[in-house]
Amino acid sequence: MSEISETELNAAHRLFGERFSLAQRFVGHLATTGIERGLLGPREVPRLWNRHVLNCVVVEELIGEGNRVADVGSGAGLPGVALAIARPDLCLTLIEPLERRVDWLDEVCSDLGLDNVRIVRGRAEQVTDTVEADVVTARAVSALAKLAPITIPLVHGKGEILAIKGRSGAEELSKAQSTIRRLGGRDTSIVSMGADVLEEPTTVVRIVVGG
């Protein structure tokens, strides 16, 4: 089981509130079956809270009340499951092409009792007709130039893309600007989230579409 430091514990309580115990159970799944099934490497266990779960959940501040959120390439449920735990008002669609990951997500969401989540097996570009979102999230999927064409269509002309990136975010955004504009992206920005609770803030590339 992944240990949690006092700093991480305080941050987790602040970000998850009364649903902290659900977040703990989610981390338990990540640290056990998540590792066993190859969704994360074993070296990630000591960093599950800070580098993964808390790093993802701070993005919830950018998402409006009751929004429909599509999480592309959900994998280990980051950020999708973390957001579903922290924000029961959201309607989450987790999009994942690999069957073993879909099975794991289904087991985890069932165990946690997350009734605000549906899981769709497929690639993002294959489910545009059946998924319509206000906000699309993605983490560790691909560079923005490739990510924009598979995420922007999911908002169907109006919404936001929130791509969780590392230090390469600004460079990726610069290279992808023409593609983003062509697809209807109206405004782009780099947003730093969680500076008051995380050791290293989360970098998010925010793309506003239409409006």
Query: What's the average model confidence in pLDDT over 130-149?
Result: 94
pTM listed for this prediction: 0.95
Give the homologous superfamily in CATH for domain 59-209: Vaccinia Virus protein VP39 (3.40.50.150)
> Which tens digits make up the pLDDT trace of 74-123?
999 999 999 999 999 999 999 999 999 999 999 999 999 999 999 999 99
pLDDT at 96: 97
Look up residue 18 and give its two tokens: 């009364």
Reply yes or no on whether the pLDDT at 1 is more than 60.
no
Reply yes or no on whether the pLDDT at 159 is more than 70.
yes
Letter for the amino acid at 189?
S
Query: Where do the structural domains in the chain lie, given as residue ranges?
Result: 59-209
Distance CA 210, CA 184 (A): 6
> Which tens digits make up the pLDDT trace of 123-137?
999 999 999 999 999
Please name which of 82, 145, 146, 94 lies closest in space to residue 118, comparing C-alpha atoms.
94
Reply yes or no on whether the pLDDT at 148 is more than 60.
yes
Residue 80 DSSP one-character state: H
CB 58 within 8 A of CB 202: yes
Distance CA 178, CA 166 (A): 21
> Which tens digits make up the pLDDT trace of 167-206?
889 999 999 999 999 999 999 999 999 999 898 899 999 9
